Structure 1
């Protein structure tokens, strides 16, 4: 299972992906991607052996998939339940490899993943939470027709400055009416 659009593919994570994911996430003490993905939360470096003991969080997990470009894993996309009984979930994406930033991959992945979620789960809304320091993620949501649903002011402290937490969302009826999702 998975989705392919030209060179971009979303698919379940396999055992063979673990080494690459560990390298992308934990090999560097201060990875570049962490400056944009919730940098106010500490990233604790772990060994590959320790990472492998948690492989069930990754391998064949319907909630977290690999993002692949031309056969190379460059990131992950996933979702978690904010409140499963009411079908409220939040999604997330990390493109760990900076050479794939600013090339439209984030927008394409979020579009493909949103389609996957609405097509496979009984949801009325899909969304994600970011922070005001990550302008690219805010723009991706806006370009896909998402609405800023909440802004909690000055609750993310990073590098001596306070930032806002921002929640973006898209309702099923907005998704159905938005041609960008049905190309």
Structure 2
């Protein structure tokens, strides 16, 4: 568990699952999906179906909850882009718009990046977003990440093409901050 004032990131517990289902899978068109890869479809699932896969959520290393004043607001995660498990990418989602624009994402992602560099031997942590999500790009910049790649016009949403944006930071750059 890592804490920055009222904000905490921690492993997901069994008693978090109902809230996570409500935030992520209950609605057909949740507000957060407008920013988190909206070019990929989102499908709601029943609570029962979600609970059948609860072992994929509870006490996993690759996905934690973000709480503000002990209320679940989002998740942080990581995944690998390669079979060798060298190319690590991280992500964050705050599920309600009332939590956006207050610096919470920057603080949570900073804690998550600290955790990833402290608990792994990876030399780089990356983040991939799309050019329509300017807030996420700004968060990455505030955390010292550099633009590493921009694949033009490969994301299509609401009748417009957007770029895929890859950002990253090396361990030595993170240590120097």
TM-score in same-fold range (> 0.5) = yes
Paired with 1:86 and 1:24, the residues of 2 have a C-alpha distance of 30
CA RMSD of aligned residues (A): 0.9
1:70-106 CA-partner distances (Å, limit 9, x unpaired): 1110110010111252521100100001111000011
1:108-163 CA-partner distances (Å, limit 9, x unpaired): 01111100000000010001100000000000111111001000000000000000
Segments of structure 2 that go 5 or more residues without pairing to the other structure are: none
TM-score (norm 1): 0.94
Paired with 1:83 and 1:26, the residues of 2 have a C-alpha distance of 28
- Which residue is equivalent to 2:88? 89
- Which residue is equivalent to 1:36? 35
Paired with 1:84 and 1:170, the residues of 2 have a C-alpha distance of 20
| Ranges of 4+ aligned residues in structure 1 off by more than 3 Å | none
Q: How many pairs were matched up?
A: 177
- Which residue is equivalent to 1:61? 60
TM-score (norm 2): 0.97
1:9-64 CA-partner distances (Å, limit 9, x unpaired): 00000110110000001122111000000000000110011011111221111110
- Which residue is equivalent to 1:150? 149
Segments of structure 1 that go 5 or more residues without pairing to the other structure are: 179-183
Paired with 2:150 and 2:176, the residues of 1 have a C-alpha distance of 25
Paired with 1:3 and 1:139, the residues of 2 have a C-alpha distance of 22
Whether contact under 8 Å (1:87, 1:122) holds in the other structure is: no
